[in-house]
Amino acid sequence: MQALSFRGPQLFAADAHALLNGLARAASHLVTVRVERIANACDVAGLLAARRARRVAGEALFRAADREGRRLRGRGLFGFFHYLGDLT
């Protein structure tokens, strides 16, 4: 006979982490949506759009590298703040 192991706590921890990350992402979006609106209104030179285009192109390269087997670093628990780099 084989002993069956119960992985309930590990599954719950992963689900709880995903839930907290999603809730934090939604809350940060609600808080920063006004800042984003003001930043887009003040962007007369189009710098924010250019930075976003570069970031999207870079993410496409990272996805291609990931398909080749290279491991990318994770964003962690507070990874939902990555888009605030456009405001600097």
Tokens of 86: 């456009």
Q: What are phi and psi of 35, to 5 degrees?
A: -65, -40
pLDDT tens figures, 6-20: 676 777 888 889 999
Q: Label residue 82 by pLDDT band (50, 70, 90).
A: low
Of the two residues 8 and 24, the one the predictor is more confident about is: 24
Q: Label residue 62 by pLDDT band (50, 70, 90).
A: confident
pLDDT at 73 over 60: no
- Listed in sequence order, the residues at least 6 apart from 86 whose beta carbon sits closer than 8 Å to its beta carbon are 39, 48, 51, 52, 55
pLDDT at 70 over 90: no
